[in-house]
Amino acid sequence: MRLQKFLSASGICSRRQGETYILDGRVQVNGRVVNTLGTQVDPEADTVAVDGRPVALVDEKVYIALNKPRGYVTSCDHPGERIVLDLVDIPQRIYPVGRLDKDSTGLLLLTNDGRLHHRLSHPSFDHEKEYDVTVDRPVSDNALARMAGGMHVKGRRTRPARVRRLSRHRFRIVLQEGRNRQIRRMVKQLGLRVRELKRVRMAGIRMDRLASGTSRHLTASEIRGLLKGIGDGGGRT
C-alpha cells in the first residue's frame, strides 16, 4: 500500500494532506523519516508514525453530517481559529470532506474513510452540491440565467448549474464543481454581494432540520448511497 494511502486509511488526514506530511518529513516508517511519495508499506509488518506518534489502519469507518456555523474554519488544525472539529466529540480521528468558507454555513461531511474523502473532494467526480444563497439586492432573471449557463471566473468558465429563484433576494444553486469561493465570485461579477450562503445538500445527503453547530451520524441507508455512488466513478484512485 502506498504510504499516503495508508495515512488516509488510518484516519490521520486526507490522501492529499498525507502527501504534504510526507514531503515535510513528518512521517517515519520503521523509525526512519520517509519523504518520497509513492513509498510502499506493509500494514501488517511496517510501523508508521506521524510526528513520532504511531498510526494504524482504521477498522471502524465513521460518517458524520455537521451543520457548520459561521466563523468556523474547515480545517483539522488552524492556530488561532475555531475549527469544525471543535464541534464534534468522538474518539475517532476524522477530517472534513471538501471546504466551506469561514463565513459560509451549512452541511459539511466528516469521515475517516479516505477513499470516500478522495472521491467526494476531487474535481473529476461529478457529485452535486446545493446551496441556498441570499444577496444584498434583488437578483434579476438575467443574472440567474448567467449563473446557470456558466460564467468566466478567474480565467476559467464555470460549468453549467441549476438555479432556482426562491424570492427577490434569494435563490438555490446546484453545482457539480467546488472551486474556491466560486458562488461569491459569480455573484460579485453580477454586481451583487452575498449576505448568506448555506450548503443544504452534498451528494445524496441533506441537512434537513439539523441545528446550527450540531452533528449526527449518517444513517445506514445514507452511507450505502454514498458508497454506491463512489463505486464506479471515474477519475484517479
d(CA 25, CA 140): 52
Is residue 101 part of the annotated active site? The answer reads yes
At 222, is the secondary structure helix, strand, or coil?
helix
Please give the C-alpha separations between residue 197 and each of 19, 115, 230, in angstroms, as whole numbers: 31, 28, 27
d(CA 146, CA 163): 10
Catalytic residue among 42, 89, 101, 232: 101
> Is residue 57 left, alpha or beta, with left meaning phi > 0 and alpha meaning psi from -120 to 50?
beta
- Do the beta carbons of residue 3 and residue 22 sit within 8 Å? yes
Expressed in angstroms, the distance from the first to the final Cα of the chain is 13
Task: Find, among 202, 4, 173, the residue nearest to 98 by Cα.
Answer: 202
Q: What amino acid positions are annotated as catalytic residues? A: 101
